[in-house]
Structure 1
Amino acid sequence: MAPATIDLQLLQSRQWSVDTSYNASIIISYNLALGAAGTNLPLTFEAHPSFHALPSFACVPTISVMGAVSQAFPSLLPKFQPHNQLHGEHYIRSLAPFPIPSSNSPTVPIRTTGKIIGCVSRPRGVTVTVAIETSHPPSGTVICYSEWTSFVLGIPPAGASTTTEDRGPATATYPTPSRTADKVLQYKTTPEQGALYRAASGDLNPLHIDPATAKRAGFQGPILTGTCTLGVGIRQIIEEFAGGDVGRFDWVRCRLSKPVFPGELVRTEMWEEEGRRIAFRMVVGDGKGEKVVIGNAAVGLKTNAGNL
């Protein structure tokens, strides 16, 4: 039964854990869904000595636990409607490499735990932030920490916080620099990309594949998952500013502003800043029809090459 008002203490007391696993095929499918070249063997050949997942692979277990969180929202938020929940902001911090499947251990188990850490009043509803930790149970190693912020429209804000807690890079905003971008890359999404990313990531929301569902949600057609667009941008930044070494990826923070439709051309504009930080934004269209699809965004890089 839906509550009459937001109970912040109840929200922040809830926790969800999901046990999942992955194998080499999932890593390869995920990398290809983000536009990795089939000839890039460290991303597509499981026997390559440097075989690895792209940094945004952290989104795969995150998606699984957010499914459990979203199922609980009707009992936690007044007047909650699933179609009014929008993935608005995202943060990932890499703490250790994802273990690589081997002939001895072809499937890698992982545990992902989510906890609501914020519910903030907004003009049209609330934002709900879920802190997510992914670990490798056999070793106890924490692989990554993420924060997933949803804009939930139409929620009466009574009981919600009025300010966001300062959590450093996880809550910082990164305005677009006024100078010319240091690097600009274009990426042509494909009509098949939404289907490929759904299969690779496990995000089976029909909004990303079914025209009828997309139309009911107010879109002209299926839209790419926001973490797919983000993953493409991170891949491009790592290739351009870290020589393709994913071990140098430290963190990313962004706002998911507008949807991308499969087949659209996405332009990624990148600025190298102090502190090994790369500010970026991702844009569709030119001039009058231009829309920013990812903004207020930055990637932090480590000084030295990391271990794959």
Structure 2
Amino acid sequence: MSNKPTTIDLTKIKPLTWTVQTKYNASSIITYNLALGASGTDLSLCFEGHPSFHALPTFGTLPVISAMGAVTKSMPDFLPSFQSHNHVHGEHYLELKRPFPIPKPGEEVTLETTAKVLEVVDRRSGVTVCVAITTSDAATGSEICYNEWTSFILRVPGAGAATHSLDRGAMSKIYPSPDRKPNAVREFRTSPEQGALYRAASGDLNALHIDPEVAKKGGFPGPILTGTATLGVGVRHVLEAFADGDAGRFKGMKVRLSKPVFPGDVVRTEMWREEGGRVVRYRQCVGDERVVMKDAAVFLHEGKANL
């Protein structure tokens, strides 16, 4: 598309695809795990020589960042009046098909990630854009994970967009917190260096997460933590509380990103066990007033319930 659009044309948007390749090695996995608060004494997360060395399952959000970079770069070609500073990560769904391959010493794993727009929905003050993203092992073609990234984009006129979201089951469902006492609560104090560490681990080099001046221009008092970092901490807390830390129990997750987290904040994850332990609803808060992640759930494979 070469001409700037004046309306949204779904017939032209939906056939579009974006494909990127990314690479990772053992150091990438270690850095990512540490960026989510993994203990340096947990050798399964921090030592590549450990027999159970693995990436935390939300490692599956990282190739999405590169793919969404390509999609966002193209948004001015299919969204009228698009401005990048009006683009907010609103919801996220992740389904892990199998564990990420562990690279041999000195080697890298190459991933191929393809994105396509599932829907564009008119929200009056802007539009939501839901992007489906599939990541595979480039060497074998085997699918590793599936993500859906939903962005809310302010001040984009909705003419031509859909009037409501599609029902995609667990992918589009919301999971409000139950009106009862949580079954488990965990806290994580983010460090002043958390934003810088996660930027290095994820490859998301948006200056909003490191530069105070850029953050102020975006309407924030200071740099904010990347949303995928906060949701990664939440999933780690769920696995610790209800799966004895067994990442192999992780099947998928869905979350709504609500408010920002600032480096130095204490993030509290409140969790509710449901459906015999197969579903854990959760929300993440800072203090008593700020809910930063809501309507969230982690889906677990069958296993011994941790009560």
- Asked if TM exceeds 0.5, the reply is yes
| Amino acid of the structure 2 residue aligned with 1:9 | T
Please list the CA deviations of residues 78-118 of structure 1 after superposition, one character each: whole Å capped at 9, or x if unmatched: 00000000000000001011000113x72001100000001
- Cα distance per residue 1:222-278 (max 9 Å; x no partner): 000000000000001011111111111001000000000000111110000015100
For 2:4 and 2:226, the matched residues in 1 are separated by 28
Aligned twin of 2:287: 285
Q: Which residue of 1 aligns with 2:199?
A: 198
Match of 1:267 in 2: 268
Match of 1:64 among 60, 63, 66: 66
Segments of 4+ in structure 1 off by > 6 A?
none
Match of 1:76 in 2: 78
Q: TM-score, normalised by structure 1?
A: 0.96
Partners of 1:304 and 1:18 in 2: how far apart? 35
Contact 2:124 2:157 in 1 (8 A): no
In structure 2, C-alpha distance between the alignment counterparts of 1:234 and 1:263, rounded to whole Å = 19
Partner residue of 1:295?
294
Deviations 1:11-34 (A, max 9, x none): 111100001110000100000000
SS in 2 for 1:152: strand
Matches within 5 A, 1:181-196: 181-196=182-197
**Deviation (angstroms), 1:176:** 1.0
State the distance in 2 between where 1:40 and 1:252 align: 24
Paired with 1:304 and 1:69, the residues of 2 have a C-alpha distance of: 38
1:233 corresponds in structure 2 to 234
Q: CA deviation at 1:2?
A: 2.1
**Cα-Cα RMSD:** 1.0
Which residue matches 1:30? Answer: 32
User: C-alpha displacement at 1:304, in angstroms?
Assistant: 4.0
Distance in 2 between residues matched to 1:234 and 1:300, nearest whole Å: 10
| Residue equivalent to 1:3 | 5
Question: How much does 1:9 deviate?
Answer: 1.2
Offset of residue 285 of structure 1: 1.1
Whether the 8 Å contact between 2:34 and 2:46 is mirrored in structure 1 is: yes
SS in 2 for 1:13: coil
Unmatched runs of 5 consecutive residues or more in structure 1: none
Alignment of 1:134-153 (within 5 A): 134-153=135-154
Identity fraction in percent: 58
- SS of the residue corresponding to residue 201 of structure 2 reads helix
8 Å contact 1:96–1:141 — kept in the other structure?
no
- Kindly provide the amino acid, as one letter, of the partner of residue 28 in structure 1: I
Match of 2:14, SS state, is helix
User: Distance between the aligned counterparts of 1:285 and 1:97, measured in 2?
Assistant: 34
TM-aligned CA deviation for residue 123 of structure 1: 2.7
Aligned letter for 1:179? R
- Name the residue aligned to 1:42: 44
Distance 2:103 2:74 in 1: 33
Distance 2:216 2:138 in 1: 41
| TM-score using structure 2 length | 0.97
Q: Distance in 1 between matches of 2:254 and 2:112?
A: 23
Residue in structure 1 matched with residue 215 of structure 2 by the alignment: 214
Aligned partner of residue 91 in structure 2, secondary structure = strand
Partner of 1:12: 14
Which whole-Å CA distance do the structure 2 matches of 1:264 and 1:243 have between them? Answer: 26
Q: Distance in 2 between matches of 1:147 and 1:2?
A: 26
Distance 2:140 2:157 in 1: 43
SS of 1:83 mapped into structure 2: helix
Cα distance in 2 for partners of 1:258, 1:123 equals 21
Task: Determine the structure 2 residue equivalent to 1:117.
Answer: 118
8 Å CA contact retained: 2:119, 2:165:
yes
- Give how far 1:45 is off: 0.2
CA distance in 2, matches of 1:185, 1:97: 25
